Amino acid sequence: MSGNRTFTMLKPDAVENGHIGGILEKITASGFKIVAMKYTQLSKRDAQEFYSVHKERPFYGDLVEFMTRGPIVAAILEKDNAVEDFRALIGATNPAEAADGTIRKLYATSIGENAVHGSDSDENAAIEGAFHFSGREIY
Ligand code: CMP
């Protein structure tokens, strides 16, 4: 059975380009309820840990550099079938391949700077949410 929560980050490129409002509007208009949210900046150690599954990939260094270069918005979102529905809303990792109307099609500039993160499984949604939020920060 699929879960009802996912985790997202509006990445430094989206924040720098003034897209926080536009992206949050799309998320809530698509039926997601924000149950936790913070404006924060990842340290190098945070980003290395968060993306440790990618540490052997050639883009890992650039990914850590990018994700730490400015503030992000982190949030936990609630909706039936949250992980799958949110991944459909954000579109393909590479914005050039993202469907029309998706968040990455609208706001991302490249595969590396792709505006928004969405958990890829219920298990990772729980791990990633717990990385950023304590129980008392989730409403
Ligand atoms: P996301 O899926 O949120 O988490 C992993 C990130 O790694 C991904 O978004 C991209 O930002 C980045 N990424 C994935 N593939 C590549 C790639 N081929 N080149 C550069 N960055 C990538």
Please tell me the predicted confidence (pLDDT) of residue 2. Answer: 74
Give dist(CA 14, CA 26) in Å, integer.
Answer: 14
CA atoms within 13 A on the CB side of 109: 10
Q: Is 39 in the pocket of ligand 1 (CB under 6 A)?
A: no
One digit per residue, the tens of pLDDT, for the chain of length 139 reads 578 999 999 999 999 999 999 999 999 999 999 999 999 999 999 999 999 999 999 999 999 999 999 999 999 999 999 999 999 999 999 999 999 999 999 999 999 999 999 999 999 999 999 999 999 999 9
pLDDT at residue 36, rounded to an integer: 98
Unique residue bearing structure tokens 């949030």: 75
* 132 catalytic residue (yes or no): no
Cα 93 to ligand 1 centre (Å): 7
User: Using a 6 Å cutoff on CB, does residue 138 contact ligand 1?
Assistant: no
User: What pLDDT shows up at residue 3?
Assistant: 85
Q: Residue whose CA is closest, atom 4 of ligand 1?
A: 117
- Cβ-based neighbours of 93, under 8 Å, separated by 6 or more: 104, 111, 114
Ligand 1 centroid–CA 136 distance in Å is 31
71 in contact with ligand 1, CB cutoff 6 A = no
**Which of 19, 54, 117, 132 is an active site residue?**
117
Provide the whole-model pTM.
0.96
